[in-house]
Amino acid sequence: MMTNDKVTIESLDQEGRGIAHANGKVIFIEGALTGEVVSYASYRKKASFELAQMTELHRAASIRVEPKCVHFGVCGGCSMQHLDARVQVAVKQRILEDSLERIGRVKPENMLPAIYGQSWGYRERARISVKHVIKKGKTLVGFHEKRSSFVADMQHCEILVPRIAVLITPLAELIDGLSVRDRLPQIEVAAGEHVDVLVLRIMAPLTEEDEAALRAFADRHHVQFWLQPKGPETIVPFHPAEAPELSYSLPEFNIVMPFAPSEFTQVNSLLNRVMVSRAMRLLDPKPDERIVDFFCGLGNFTLPIARSGASVLGIEGSAALVGRARQNAGANGLSVDFAAMNLFEIDEARLASLGKSDKWLIDPPRDGALELVKSITPGIAPERIVYVSCNPATLARDAAELVQRGYVLKSAGVMNMFPQTSHVESIALFEKA
């Protein structure tokens, strides 16, 4: 890679890269911030743009801070640690506003104040890679390196919950001593309010010595080991065999949510509480209303809606999550209807068969909810829609569809669910004009 001349960074893109112009091209430069003068080396060159890495910082911006993590720049986990935490939120807010305007051609009547919580040690769910590296003579446990399939040589992680982060080196040493160290590619982390689970993907049987080592580790570090020999449906508890369940709680709604380590939950449970609270305020459910919660998962929003006394239907693609949601509703003394349905294949007729409702909550995966919003007909259109999004581009696209169907974007705002990373989580309120 050749280092190029100095450029001045004009703005930041959706992934937190600095944008500059040189030789008639747009240059996206990792590690550079707005207003900075930098040199860069390109690792990908196209006709109209280049992707590059900052090689030298000639003039630093005042928003630059010293990254907290020693692995920053190598580990692919975080890309915004060099940016002041409050500025990260402002950047994400601008990404949301830009996406709505550029992709959706919509502007919220009102921007909601950003929601944010702790900047470090928040991540309770993670998939960590494992690799025994003969050349290094050791086993690595960590996230992938930036733009690479190599596992980063990590000793610590600043965004994982601290009680899990401190286990990175002990886990690497444990796995290094197992007979299956070459056949154990991944650890799934699920940290709950009372117990923590580590699911080991194992592609070969454990020996008795392996099993003894795992048991001793689990007891010493107060974690549960679960094993996954094949697909996610094969996950089983290993030690302790009689293990208390994972759970998180929503105290404002007097709700406790048990979950299995393979089931989707939000990664940042403290911010999740604030997010659910905001969603409920925007939705404003009333006892005589009928509300549908689309992409409801294990009932994270469905159960708080039901607590208001409204009658609620939760729709979710995963049959296992629907089962979990039903169980959770019952355990929390709530009566809720749930149905399993592929919402990427929904059409007008199927949507109409769910009946008329007053309000919707939509919380889709990154791909958004285009088929759902396109299936809205005047007969079933709800008065109000609260849309929770993990991808501003698909939110903006779906917002344009909703506006075409007679909705107004009343308000929108970001929720910094993933500090230090470029992920933008947001919420938007639509009302019938």
Ligand X SMILES: C[S@@+](CC[C@H](N)C(=O)[O-])C[C@H]1O[C@@H](n2cnc3c(N)ncnc32)[C@H](O)[C@@H]1O
Q: Site residues (CB under 6 A) for ligand X?
A: 264-266, 295-298, 300-301, 316-318, 321, 342-344, 363-365, 390
Q: Out of 69, 157, 296, 390, which one is annotated catalytic?
A: 390
Rounded to a whole number of angstroms, the minimum distance from the CB of residue 342 to ligand X is 5
Separation between Cα atoms, residue 27 and residue 44, nearest integer Å: 10
Closest C-alpha to 219, from 238, 246, 200: 238
Rounded to a whole number of angstroms, the minimum distance from the CB of residue 276 to ligand X is 8
State the Cα torsion 69-70-76-81 to the nearest 10°: 40
Q: Do residues 78 and 72 make contact, with C-beta atoms less than 8 angstroms apart?
A: yes
In the complex with ligand X, the residue whose CB is nearer, 224 or 300, is 300
Separation in Å, CA 413 to CA 47, 362, 390 = 35, 15, 12
Rounded to a whole number of angstroms, the minimum distance from the CB of residue 364 to ligand X is 6
One-character DSSP codes across 402-414: HHHTTEEEEEEEE
In the complex with ligand X, the residue whose CB is nearer, 257 or 412, is 257
In the complex with ligand X, the residue whose CB is nearer, 171 or 361, is 361
Separation between Cα atoms, residue 337 and residue 355, nearest integer Å: 13
In the complex with ligand X, the residue whose CB is nearer, 300 or 426, is 300
Rounded to a whole number of angstroms, the minimum distance from the CB of residue 421 to ligand X is 16
Separation between Cα atoms, residue 302 and residue 328, nearest integer Å: 10
Count how many residues are written for the chain: 433
DSSP designation for 155: S
Looking only at Cα atoms, what is the longest distance across the chain? 67
Residue 393 — φ and ψ, nearest 5°?
-65, -45
In the complex with ligand X, the residue whose CB is nearer, 30 or 363, is 363
Unique residue bearing structure tokens 């403290």: 270
Rounded to a whole number of angstroms, the minimum distance from the CB of residue 94 to ligand X is 23
In the complex with ligand X, the residue whose CB is nearer, 35 or 232, is 232
Separation in Å, CA 19 to CA 62, 145, 215, 218, 412 = 17, 23, 50, 47, 26
Q: Do residues 404 and 381 make contact, with C-beta atoms less than 8 angstroms apart?
A: no
Q: Do residues 226 and 237 make contact, with C-beta atoms less than 8 angstroms apart?
A: yes
111: tokens are: 């921007």
Q: Do residues 291 and 354 make contact, with C-beta atoms less than 8 angstroms apart?
A: no
388: tokens are: 């929770």
> What is the enclosing helix (H) or strand (E) of 226?
strand 224-228
| Beta strand residue intervals within 336-406, DSSP E | 337-340, 359-362, 384-389
In the complex with ligand X, the residue whose CB is nearer, 285 or 297, is 297
Separation between Cα atoms, residue 394 and residue 124, nearest integer Å: 25
Rounded to a whole number of angstroms, the minimum distance from the CB of residue 245 to ligand X is 17
Rounded to a whole number of angstroms, the minimum distance from the CB of residue 297 to ligand X is 3
390 assigned to active site:
yes
Rounded to a whole number of angstroms, the minimum distance from the CB of residue 233 to ligand X is 14
Residues known to be catalytic: 390
